[in-house]
Each structure stands twice: as C-alpha cells, then as structure tokens.
C-alpha cells in the first residue's frame, strides 16, 4: 500500500476539501494557525459545558431571603417564568432533591461525582490519547460530553427528582470530558517547539476563561425558560465543536505531509511561507516526489504511567496542581452561588446577574495566563513564575473576601485580581509545563508522552478540583470565611510544593549565567539548569 495515501495518513476531511478547492496545500505556518484555532474552539466548548451547574445552583437550592435585589450593572433582577405548568419551576421553591436542608451538600456531591470521574478518567484518557488517533478520540469525547450534559438538563423537562439520575449523568459526562485536555495539549506540543511555548500557550490557554465566560453567558441567557436549557444549549455547543474537530484537526504534522526529524518537535522559529520554503527547510509536503515516513497519529508508541512519572519534575508539578486547581475550580463551581448569597454594596444580586458578574473572574484569568507564560519565557523559570503567582493569590483572596462586599466596583476589581493570580499558575502548569515535560530529552524520539504526562499532571490536579467544590458545599453552611481560609491554605501548600524547584532555578541563574542546553530540564539539581527552551 502506498505510504502517501490520504486514507493511511488520516487527513481530516475538511482539509482534503480545502485542498481540492484551492488546488494547493497550505503552508506550515498556516496549518499552525489552524491548529491553534481548532484546539482553542475545542477546549472552549469543554469548559463552556462545565459551567451550567454553577449557574443553576441558586435555582436548584434557592434562599428566598436573598437574591431578590437589583443589580444596576447587569439589568433587571432575575424573575422566573412559569413554564408548562411545572410547579417546581419557581425561584422560591427550588428543585427536588436539591431544595432540602442538605441542598448544598448534594450540590457538592454532584460536583465531586463529575470531577472524580474526570480525574480518574484522565489517567486512562492520557494513555489512550498517546495510542489512538487523537482527532477521532477528541471528537468522540466532545460529542459524548454533549449528549450527557444535555441529558442532565432533560431531567427538568422529564420532571425527574431522583438524585441518582443527576449523579449518574455527571459521572458519565466526567469520563467523556477527560478526553479533552490531554488531547489538545498533545496536539499543540506536536506542532510547536519550546522557544516561545510559555507565551504561545498562555495566549492559547485563554480558551479556559473564554469557555467559562461563554458557558456562563449561554446558561444565563436561557435560564428564564427553564434551568434544563442551561445544560442543553452548552451540550449542543460542545457537540458542534466535536464536528469541527473531526473535519479540521490534524493531530500531527506528519498526518498532512510535513516531516520532522526524529527526536525533535517543530521549532516555532522555523516557520514557512509556502511549500517551496517548507522543502528548503526540510519539510516535505504531501504530493511531492518524496514520501514522508509515517510517524504520525497511528504508528508512534506510547509510554506507561509509571515511566512518565519518573520524568524529572512531573510529580512536584502534579502535586502543586492538586492544590492550585482545587482553588481554581472552587471559584469555577461556586462563585456565582457565592455572589448571589453575599450582600454587595448593600444589596443582593440576582441569580442571572451573579452568573454574568462571575465571568469577570475569568477575564482576570485570561490576563493571568498570558502574563504567567510571558514571564516564564523571559525568566526561563516555570517553577518560580508559578510559585510567585500562587503566593500572590493568597492576599488577593483575602482582600476579595474582606473588601469585595463594599461596592460593585470594588467587587469587580478584586475579583479580577484574584482571577489573575489564581488562574495564572494553573494555566502555566497545565500547558507549557506539561508540554515541556512531555517532550523531555529522556524520551525516545518515536515515543509518545505528551498526552500521558499531561494526563498525570492534570489528572492529579483534577483530584484536588474534585475535593474543592465538595468541601465548599459543607463549609459554606458554616460561613464563607471558612471557605476562604481553606482556599488560602491550599494556595500556600501549592507554593511550598514548588520550593525545591524554585531554589534550583534561582541557584542555576546565580551560579551559571550561561546559555542553557536543550537537553536539561525540570527537576535538575542546583548544578544544572532547571528548565531550558530551544531558542
């Protein structure tokens, strides 16, 4: 069989169609832009589909004494409409089984169910992502996620009040959602070298916050028509995203005819403007006289979880992410509920307005992710940057809790600052750090580790993310001060877990101010550079 057949290469149908229409192929640099865009859309959809549960918490478990004030920033107070004679659709009644005295605990258990399955599924998904076709794997995960997110919302229309139903839908959705992060980080790592990886991934990682914002706005926009729509619309959104991935995502450069030397990822600086330039720079384009040795999304071998854990730096960053993601996801799942239950400027905001207002936390997160990536590139010190941001998150959360209730403007400003410092290290570790470790020099050039390493780090972080919302469900009954103390303690622990790597980075900078080698990496002793990039 011909090695350059489109069927064997698994070229996405959308790219084949564009090639046939244009009569020629895109350049390498154009493909990179397409990959950035498609993976950005993909993970925006993932996060958008996770947001509805935080928006509807105050509807499922309402407090009739709160949430009935006006919000001058976001318009009228949210007022429920009667729909189809459903008596359960009233803001002062809630939705069984979440409207009892243990309502917040049940909501916390729902979050735990989703995140526990998500974190456990991550380890399996990472290995599968390094074994299977990433494009098909990601497509399946997105469409499956959309189905079960929508089925959770169908509980409203089917008038289901069985806790086990909602628990089961969240658990299955969590398993499908686990396919996302290892896959998209692996794809980006395959297409981009290390030279400016922190900045590129910091900008690209804005999809997390964009997804949270779009998910909040989508859910809030249809909340008047029944809380079930808050899940159905984002579920359809991620399913459509899965179709886009199927048609346009090329997981490996080799899948569409670009050949890169073994043991090296394509360098950011080695861009090409056209096919002729690609050939001159060593990139062989599909359709030329030479064929490309297939090392793309079918023939590479994967490494095991234990082998991936032995890569220097994987364990410290994974443990750090356990606590930093706990903090980030507590805000993701509970911030709208907190805003609707907390007096701000002498009044309580509505449920719908709280959802809109919470998006500003993610606006700060976008800035934080880009800033953390840029600083880590400039300093060539991922651990120091992550630890620095996490340490500043502690006073940021303290100030937000203490002074955020003074006025709407104070709440917005302090919320955005908290989002900047909380999401900065979270974004850096789950993107640039994971990609750097997944291409560690100790790996064979023909082995896959990007998805596996990403799964280990983000999977461990997701375990922490599962505990955060669960603990918040219990602690919030004792007062929000207890919740914020828990979050600040976790941020401190996350900072301390990187202390050894920070010391090694600082020592290397002070003792050896010489250009670093691309063979050195995370977790090296003080006599060696802790992290290096290909420049």
Question: Above 70 in pLDDT, residue 523?
Answer: no
Mean pLDDT of 215-224: 87
In-domain check, residue 281 = no
Predicted local distance difference test score (pLDDT) of residue 149 = 95
Neighbours of 306 (CB within 10 A): 7
Predicted local distance difference test score (pLDDT) of residue 414 = 94
**Averaging pLDDT over each range in 61-70, 318-327, 424-433, which range is the top one?**
318-327
Q: Which of 269, 270, 266 is nearest to 296 (CA)?
A: 266
Question: Above 70 in pLDDT, residue 521?
Answer: no
Predicted local distance difference test score (pLDDT) of residue 449 = 62
Question: Above 50 in pLDDT, residue 279?
Answer: no
Quick one: pLDDT band at residue 528, thresholds 50, 70, 90? Answer: very low
In-domain check, residue 161 = yes
Question: Above 70 in pLDDT, residue 378?
Answer: yes
Q: Which of 24, 17, 12 is nearest to 275 (CA)?
A: 24
Question: Above 60 in pLDDT, residue 447?
Answer: no
Neighbours of 358 (CB within 10 A): 27
User: Which of 37-41, 168-172, 286-290, 392-396 bottoms out in mean pLDDT, i.e. has the lowest?
Assistant: 286-290
Strand ranges for 310-434 from DSSP E: none
Element (H, E) at 443: none
Using the CB atoms, write b or e for 521-535: b if 16+ within 10 Å: bbbbebebbbbbbee
Q: What DSSP state is assigned to residue 333?
A: H
Q: How far is CA 125 from CA 114, 239, 260, 358, in A?
A: 15, 19, 26, 30
Quick one: pLDDT band at residue 89, thresholds 50, 70, 90? Answer: very low
Quick one: pLDDT band at residue 142, thresholds 50, 70, 90? Answer: very high
Mean pLDDT of 33-44: 94
What's the distance, CA 19 to chain centroid? 32
Residue 69 makes CB contacts below 8 A (sequence gap 6+) with: 77, 347, 348, 349, 350
Q: How far is CA 316 from CA 496, 500, 501, in A?
A: 10, 9, 8
Predicted local distance difference test score (pLDDT) of residue 235 = 95
Which one has a higher pLDDT value, 322 or 284?
Answer: 322
Residue whose pair of structure tokens reads 């043991």 in the numeric block: 263
In-domain check, residue 296 = no
In-domain check, residue 344 = yes
Q: How many domains does the chain have?
A: 1
Long-range pairs of 213-216 with CB within 8 A, sequence gap ≥ 24:
213/359, 213/362, 213/363, 214/44, 214/48, 215/47, 215/48, 215/49, 215/50, 215/51, 215/52, 215/55, 216/51, 216/54, 216/55, 216/336, 216/355, 216/356, 216/358, 216/359
> 3-state class of 313 per DSSP?
coil
Q: Are strands 447-448 and 301-302 parallel, antiparallel or unpaired?
A: parallel
Alpha helices (H) in 225-313, listed in sequence order: 229-248, 275-280, 305-309
Structure tokens at 407: 């006025």
In-domain check, residue 175 = yes
Predicted local distance difference test score (pLDDT) of residue 76 = 40
Quick one: pLDDT band at residue 303, thresholds 50, 70, 90? Answer: low
Sign of CA dihedral 336, 341, 342, 346: positive
User: Which of 270-274, 316-320, 334-338 bottoms out in mean pLDDT, i.e. has the lowest?
Assistant: 270-274
**Averaging pLDDT over each range in 128-137, 327-336, 484-493, which range is the top one?**
484-493
HSE-up of 401 (CA within 13 Å, CB side)? 17
Residue whose pair of structure tokens reads 């729902």 in the numeric block: 110
Q: How far apart are CA 348 and CA 327, in angstroms?
A: 24
User: Which of 39-53, 115-129, 441-455, 504-518 bottoms out in mean pLDDT, i.e. has the lowest?
Assistant: 441-455
Tell me the β-bridge partners of 112: none
Structure tokens at 53: 């549960």
Which one has a higher pLDDT value, 514 or 502?
Answer: 502
Among residues of the chain, what percentage have pLDDT more than 70?
75
Question: Above 50 in pLDDT, residue 271?
Answer: no
Predicted local distance difference test score (pLDDT) of residue 358 = 85
Structure tokens at 62: 């309402």
Predicted local distance difference test score (pLDDT) of residue 397 = 95
Question: Above 90 in pLDDT, residue 37?
Answer: yes
> 324-355, pLDDT tens digit by residue?
989 998 888 888 888 888 888 888 888 778 88
What's the domain range around 102? Answer: 19-64+97-260+302-510
Backbone Cα Rg of the chain: 23
DSSP-assigned letters across all residues of 129-155 = HTTS-HHHHHHHHHHHHHHHHHHHHHH
CA–CA–CA angle 412, 365, 62 (5° rounding): 55
User: Which of 87-96, 277-286, 405-414, 497-506 bottoms out in mean pLDDT, i.e. has the lowest?
Assistant: 277-286
Q: What DSSP state is assigned to residue 75?
A: B
Mean pLDDT of 300-306: 61
In-domain check, residue 71 = no
Q: What DSSP state is assigned to residue 283?
A: P
Inter-residue contact 187 to 134 (CB < 8 Å): yes
At residue 311, what are phi and psi to the nearest 5 degrees?
Answer: -65, 125
Mean pLDDT of 17-41: 90
Q: How far apart are CA 163 and CA 166, in angstroms?
A: 6
Angle between helices 52-60 and 229-248 (to 10 degrees): 170
In-domain check, residue 478 = yes
Q: Can you give the CATH number for the domain in which 213 is found?
A: 1.20.1250.20
Predicted local distance difference test score (pLDDT) of residue 263 = 40
Using the CB atoms, write b or e for 115-124: b if 16+ within 10 Å: bbbbbbbbbb
In-domain check, residue 147 = yes
DSSP-assigned letters across all residues of 344-357 = BTTBPPPHHHHHHH
Inter-residue contact 359 to 217 (CB < 8 Å): yes
Predicted local distance difference test score (pLDDT) of residue 81 = 34
């Amino acid at each position: 069989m011909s090695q350059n057949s489109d069927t064997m290469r698994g070229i996405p149908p959308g790219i084949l169609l564009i090639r046939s229409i244009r009569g020629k192929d895109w350049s390498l640099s154009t493909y990179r832009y397409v990959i950035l865009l498609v993976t950005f859309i993909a993970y925006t959809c993932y996060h958008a589909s996770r947001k509805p549960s935080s928006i509807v918490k105050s509807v499922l478990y309402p407090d009739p004494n709160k949430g009935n004030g006006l919000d001058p920033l976001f318009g009228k107070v949210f007022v429920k409409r009667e729909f189809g004679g459903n008596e359960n659709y009233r803001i002062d009644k809630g939705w069984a089984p979440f409207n009892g005295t243990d309502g917040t605990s049940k909501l916390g258990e729902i979050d735990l169910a989703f995140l526990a399955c998500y974190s456990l599924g991550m380890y399996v998904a990472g290995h599968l992502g390094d074994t299977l076709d990433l494009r098909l794997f990601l497509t399946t995960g997105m469409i499956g996620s959309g189905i079960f997110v929508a089925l959770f919302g169908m509980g409203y229309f089917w008038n289901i009040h069985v806790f086990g139903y909602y628990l089961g839908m969240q658990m299955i959705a969590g398993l499908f959602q686990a396919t996302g992060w290892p896959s998209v980080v692996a794809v980006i790592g395959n297409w981009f070298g290390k030279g400016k990886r922190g900045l590129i991934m910091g900008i690209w990682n804005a999809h997390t916050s964009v997804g949270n914002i779009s998910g909040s706005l989508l859910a809030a926009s249809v909340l008047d028509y029944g809380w079930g729509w808050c899940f159905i619309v984002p579920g359809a959104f991620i399913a459509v995203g899965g179709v886009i991935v199927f048609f346009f995502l090329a997981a490996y450069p080799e899948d569409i005819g670009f050949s890169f030397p073994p043991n090296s990822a394509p360098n950011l600086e080695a861009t090409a403007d056209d096919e002729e330039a690609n050939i001159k720079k060593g990139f062989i384009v599909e359709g030329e006289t030479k064929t490309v040795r297939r090392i793309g999304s079918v023939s590479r071998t994967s490494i095991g979880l234990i082998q991936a854990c032995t890569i220097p730096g994987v364990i410290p960053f994974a443990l750090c992410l356990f606590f930093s993601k706990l903090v980030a996801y507590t805000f993701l799942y509970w911030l709208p509920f907190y805003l609707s239950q907390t007096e701000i400027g002498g009044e309580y905001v509505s449920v719908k307005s709280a959802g809109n207002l919470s998006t500003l936390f993610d606006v700060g997160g976008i800035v934080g992710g880009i800033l953390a990536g840029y600083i880590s590139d400039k300093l060539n010190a991922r651990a120091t940057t992550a630890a620095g941001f996490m340490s500043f998150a502690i006073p940021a959360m303290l100030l937000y809790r203490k002074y955020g209730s003074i006025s709407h403007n104070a709440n917005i400003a302090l919320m955005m600052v908290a989002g900047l410092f909380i999401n900065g290290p979270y974004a850096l570790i789950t993107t640039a750090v994971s990609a750097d470790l997944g291409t560690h020099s100790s790996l064979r050039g023909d082995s896959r580790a990007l998805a596996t390493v990403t799964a280990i780090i983000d999977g461990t972080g997701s375990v922490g993310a599962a505990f955060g919302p669960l603990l918040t469900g219990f602690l919030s009954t004792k007062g929000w001060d207890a919740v914020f103390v828990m979050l600040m303690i976790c941020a401190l622990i996350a900072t301390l877990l990187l202390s050894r790597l920070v010391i090694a980075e600082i020592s290397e900078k002070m003792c050896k101010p010489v250009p670093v080698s691309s063979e050195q990496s995370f977790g090296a002793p003080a006599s060696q550079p802790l992290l290096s990039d290909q420049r």
